[in-house]
Amino acid sequence: MMTILKPGDLNQLKQALEPFFVRDFFRFAPFSPLLLEFCEKLSKELFNLETAVQDGKVMQYPDLASLAFWLRNKHLQHIQNTLATSSSNTQLVPRGLVFHIPPSHIDVMLVYSWICSLLMGNGTIIRLSNEQSEESKTLLNIILEVLAEKKFAPLAEITCFVQYGHEEEFTAWISSYAHVRVIWGGNDTIDKIRKIPLQPFAKELTFPDRFSYAVVDAKAFMQADKAERKTIVSHFFNDTYWYDQSACSSPRLICWIGISSMVEQASQDFYQTLQNVIQERGYEISLGTQLYKQAFMYDAALSLSARKVTTLSNELSILFVEELSHQLRNHCGQGLLYHAALSNLDGISAFVSSHDQTLSYYGFSQEELKKLASKINGKGLSRFVPFGQALTFETIWDGQNLLTEFSQTVTID
């Protein structure tokens, strides 16, 4: 079932989906050759897109390029090797039918989670909202084209896209067949859909709104030479600006660790270099976004009792706060950084909460971060990544191993 279903009412939906639901969703073992072949083909098509020229313009979707890279056979095999699909007395098997509910537009993150469930051999039903961005449409078309190839018919048969609005009855009916339901935030959406029952044995994965931040060792940063500092800041730029600072794992707060004179010097250099990188990359936000951000910033400056605000351009403002408070998690993205100075790394642990996902770092050893993680002990922050990797998708996401979440473990004694 490769076409996109667009049901008008529940009866139409039922009629269209009934033949789908009786299919065998247990036909593929995890990492079956056909599944890997499909990913390889999808990867190739996405790479081709990178060089495609449309309307005289080279299409630029850097996140699709990362996806293409991630889907390469070699990389997937590496993932497979790190996962013990079978041991002497256990075996990983699919869960069955996975129902994916992405945010309003199908973004690349959803494809990653979908591929994880597909690699584990599951059937798929994906809800698409009526509004799709240009990039989403492009991505969707490529997926549909590859699925339409004859050799992938067995996979296409257990893959279905349904496009509908916010009809809860549709979600409820599809949920009644799912073995796993995956909901990507907003938190309001999760709250709403959670109330819809699942089969007793089915499970649910949720990816709520998250807050992420960065820590920098001021001394280590100043010890790097000028070229290095530029590289570090460029990595930070990628982490932060790729999705207009709206990705859950993009840093919004930057915690500077060190003595205050060093922090002052290092942060000034950092922000000026960041402004230079923004200009070099030609990154710009729209005027409407700027006006929205400006008003947000004035409001936040009052709520957070800001010590200082520095605006280097429409694309970069820094709001200096005296202490870490929960209110920092209310943030507009779009090139606003909250700046906090702390004397040591341990200082952030009191602030960490279950809303927090990724800590991007520079200048700290794994030892130090492991100690920090032990101190936090699950209160929040499930990823610690060096600058430049905040947006890199990993099969362990939000502290959940997606491959094992999308499978069942059978024991044979």
Sites of contact with other proteins (CB under 8 A): 103-105, 107, 109, 129, 133, 184-189, 207, 209-210, 243-244, 246-248, 286-295, 298-299, 301-302, 306, 308-309, 313-314, 333-334
**Which residue, 25 or 184, is less far from other proteins as judged by CB?**
184
Minimum distance from residue 382 beta carbon to other proteins (Å) = 15
Give the dihedral sign, CA 276/281/282/283: negative
CB of 185 to other proteins, least distance (A): 5
Q: Tokens representing 233?
A: 């800041």
- Taking the complex as a whole, how short is the minimal distance between the CB of residue 146 and other proteins, in angstroms? 25
CB of 217 to other proteins, least distance (A): 28
Query: In this structure, what are the phi and psi dihedrals at residue 320, rounded to the nearest 5 degrees?
Result: -90, 125
Residue 39: both structure tokens together: 């990913």
Q: How far is the CB of 376 from other proteins (least distance, A)?
A: 22
Please say which residue, 147 or 306, places its beta carbon nearer to other proteins: 306
Q: Quick one: 184 or 387, whose CB is closer to other proteins?
A: 184
Give the DSSP H or E segment for 97. strand 97-101
Least separation in angstroms between CB 298 and other proteins: 5
Task: For residue 285, give Cα distances in angstroms to 233, 273, 336, 369.
Answer: 19, 18, 12, 34
Residue whose CB is less far from other proteins, 92 or 162: 162
Nearer to other proteins by Cβ, of 184 and 270: the residue is 184
Tell me the torsion sign for CA atoms 256, 258, 260, 265.
negative
Contact 320/307 with Cβ under 8 angstroms? yes
Q: What is the DSSP string of 349-411?
A: TTT--TTEEEEEEES--HHHHHHHHHHHTTSS--EEEETT-TT---SEETTEEHHHHTEEEEE
DSSP per-residue string spanning 16-55: HHHHHHTS-TT-S-TT-HHHHHHHHHHHHHHHHHHH-EET
DSSP one-letter code for 322: S
Least separation in angstroms between CB 409 and other proteins: 29
Structure token digits, residue 395 = 């099969």
Closest CB to other proteins among residues 129, 400: 129
Nearer to other proteins, 1 or 359 (CB): 359
At its nearest, how many Å lie between other proteins and the CB of residue 321?
A: 12
Is the Cβ of residue 212 or residue 407 nearer to other proteins in the bound state? 212
The phi-psi region of residue 159 (left if phi > 0; otherwise alpha if psi is between -120 and 50; otherwise beta) is beta
**Neighbouring C-beta atoms of residue 9, cutoff 10 Å:** 11
Determine contact, residues 49/138, Cβ cutoff 8 Å.
Answer: yes
Would you say 106 or 215 has its CB closer to other proteins? 106
Q: What whole-number distance in Å separates Cα of residue 41 and Cα of residue 58? A: 21
Nearest distance, CB of residue 124 and other proteins, angstroms: 20
